[in-house]
Amino acid sequence: METKEEDKDAEQIEDDEEDEEEESSGEDGDSSSFHILPPHSLPSRETQREFGESDEYETDLDLKDPHKSFPGVTYEQRYLKACEMVGVVPASYFLRNIESAHMEMKHHGLGPKGARAIAIALVSNTCITHLVLEDNWIRDEGLADLVDMLRENYYIQELNLSNNQLQYRGAELFCKFLHENVTLQVVKMSGNAFGDASAKHFSDALSVNLNLHELDLSHNAFSESGGEHLGKMLASNEALRVLDLSWNHIRLKGAVAIGAGLKVNGMLRSLNLAFNGFGNEGALALGQALKSNSTLLHLDISNNRMNNEGAGLLSKGLEVNDTLRVLKLSRNPLTVEGATALLIAIKKNVESKVEELDIATVLVNQSFLVLLEEANQIHPALDVSSAGVGGFVAKKPKRRPDPMKTIQNYLDERKLRMWDFFKNMDKDGSMSIPVEDFRRAMLQQSNISLDRSQIEELVEKLDKDGTGVVDYSSYKDGP
């Protein structure tokens, strides 16, 4: 039974609503009043009084076409008004780029209030399609306003809210929106302290969402049960093409669940699982998945505690898979034995499409290089990156010519400079070439006779510090 106090509260609410209706009706046709967001997302009267805000912000907004309701109000004016209302200093970068397609505001220290001002300004914005608000300490309070804005703004297609301390409440808020999302195609939420309970919200939302194509949930805190939720999502999702779950703590049952989900998934093209704890159990599940999956092109399972046994289990899938193009396995405790098992599987599968096998932390031997040459006869596009040739060699190999001298002799014959040789490989003119691009270019050189071991020797000389790039700037003034 209601108390007298509750009856009074109900009467007071009715009186307030009548007062607001009278105020709203009295402002019809007044272009000076500035309408912002729907009433459910506006600040309370107490908050407005705190920042000296007037009652003009409490009226409803015709969100279908706000410019008809408020002729002459520019995007810049809307943002400045919003900052005045919320009580924050306007961000000059936002003002300068408010009519650009890409709005990139990383590390601006916006906080929840700054995010609210931006949300207000973007309700009617039709220019911005890519919104990056990474590392702004927005938290769930700021996210709530951004979600309200996204319900009205149908132009933003890509959203980056990484490193904003969104946590569980943020995941819950955003995933409720994903149930109804029809415009967002790319979402990046790396580093937001999402845990296993958050994973369930993402699983539920993405099991029904048909519009999101790319999702980055890396650098969060998903573990075993979180992996189980995400595996369930993979089994039912029909839209995601790219999923990044790297740098989490997914292992055991979670790893097995993701493998099981991938087995029946028919849309995913790229899956990044690097820096988790899949182990050999996960390798077995992924090997089984590769037997059935016919869409995945890129799989990164670097640093996942997979040893030679795991490589053997994974190779069972490589023996029959005919779509995977890139497989990354660096920083796993593999030796040349595991690497050989993977290469044999690719060689045996005449339908294999693998072009890049990354085992960059594994020392191989001469037998592996021979096997690789044989595999290239069947799969010419296959490129394997390793840590070079090492280990015990029974017979002392014949001394091979220095690869740099071989190149220099070739250039001298044609009166060319070493600078020109490297420059032809440099796509952006930065005087530095990524090691993988350099390897690929050297393998395609038909006029210079260097085998893979000589190319690896060349890489070691040109990238002594292991930076991952070949810096040839020192040859600019050379011969």
| Closest C-alpha among 129, 92, 128 to residue 108 | 92
The DSSP secondary-structure symbol of 58 reads G
SS in 3 state form for 302-363? CCCCCCHHHHHHHHHHHCCCCCCCEEECCCCCCCHHHHHHHHHHHHHCCCCCCCEEEECCCC
How far is the C-alpha of 165 from the C-alpha of 135, rounded, in Å?
Answer: 9
pLDDT, average across residues 173-189: 96
| Closest C-alpha among 69, 72, 82, 73 to residue 121 | 82
CB 302 within 8 A of CB 245: no
Among 40-49, 312-321, 437-446, name the most confident range: 312-321
Instruction: Report which residue type is found at 295.
Output: T
| Strands 432-434 and 469-471, sheet pairing | antiparallel
pLDDT, average across residues 34-38: 41
Ranges of each domain in the chain: 100-386, 403-475
pLDDT of residue 28: 36
pLDDT band at 394 (very low <50, low <70, confident <90, very high): very low
How far is the C-alpha of 456 from the C-alpha of 477, rounded, in Å?
Answer: 26
What is the maximum span of the chain, computed from C-alpha positions, in angstroms?
102
pLDDT in tens, 342-381: 999 999 999 999 999 999 999 999 999 999 999 999 999 9
How far is the C-alpha of 257 from the C-alpha of 234, rounded, in Å?
Answer: 9
Q: Is the pLDDT of residue 390 over 90?
A: no
CB 352 within 8 A of CB 318: yes
Q: What percent of the chain has pLDDT over 90?
A: 65
Q: Is the pLDDT of residue 110 over 60?
A: yes
pLDDT of residue 85: 94
Q: Average per-residue pLDDT in the chain?
A: 84
pLDDT of residue 445: 76
Q: What would the CATH number be for the domain defined by 403-475?
A: 1.10.238.10
Tell me the two tokens of residue 371: 């096997």
Q: How far is CA 310 from the centre of its chain?
A: 26
* 42 vs 309, residue with greater confidence: 309
Q: How far is CA 77 from the centre of its chain?
A: 34
pLDDT in tens, 222-267: 999 999 999 999 999 999 999 999 999 999 999 999 999 999 999 9
Q: Is the pLDDT of residue 272 over 70?
A: yes
How far is the C-alpha of 284 from the C-alpha of 292, rounded, in Å?
Answer: 13
Tell me the two tokens of residue 108: 């601006």
How far is the C-alpha of 153 from the C-alpha of 96, rounded, in Å?
Answer: 20
Instruction: Report which residue type is found at 422.
Output: F
Q: How is the chain split among helix, strand and coil, in percent rounded to 5? A: 45, 10, 45
pLDDT of residue 449: 74
Lowest mean pLDDT among 145-159, 209-223, 400-414, 454-468: 454-468
Residues 6+ apart with CB under 8 A from 457: 388, 403
How would you class 353 by CB atoms within 10 Å of its CB: exposed for 0-12, middle for 13-18, buried for 19 or more?
A: middle
pLDDT of residue 20: 43
CA distances (Å), origin 470, targets 102, 361, 430, 452, 460: 32, 18, 11, 17, 10
CB 268 within 8 A of CB 262: yes
Q: Is the pLDDT of residue 32 over 60?
A: no
Q: Is the pLDDT of residue 161 over 60?
A: yes
How would you class 394 by CB atoms within 10 Å of its CB: exposed for 0-12, middle for 13-18, buried for 19 or more?
A: exposed
pLDDT of residue 478: 57
pLDDT of residue 396: 40
CB 156 within 8 A of CB 118: no
Phi-psi label, residue 327: left if phi above 0, alpha if psi -120 to 50, beta otherwise: beta
CB 446 within 8 A of CB 390: no
Length of the chain: 479
Q: What percent of the chain has pLDDT over 70?
A: 81
How far is the C-alpha of 242 from the C-alpha of 217, rounded, in Å?
Answer: 11
Q: What would the CATH number be for the domain defined by 100-386?
A: 3.80.10.10
Query: Which helix (H) or strand (E) covers residue 152, if one does?
Result: none
Query: Which helix (H) or strand (E) covers residue 12, if one does?
Result: helix 4-26
* 36 vs 410, residue with greater confidence: 410
Q: Could you report how far apart the first and last alpha carbons of the chain are, in Å? A: 96
How far is the C-alpha of 261 from the C-alpha of 234, rounded, in Å?
Answer: 5
pLDDT of residue 477: 61
* 18 vs 256, residue with greater confidence: 256
pLDDT of residue 263: 97
CB 86 within 8 A of CB 115: no
**pTM (2 d.p.):** 0.71
CB 174 within 8 A of CB 202: no
pLDDT, average across residues 312-335: 97
Instruction: Find the DSSP H helices in 70-195.
Output: 75-86, 92-96, 111-122, 139-150, 167-178
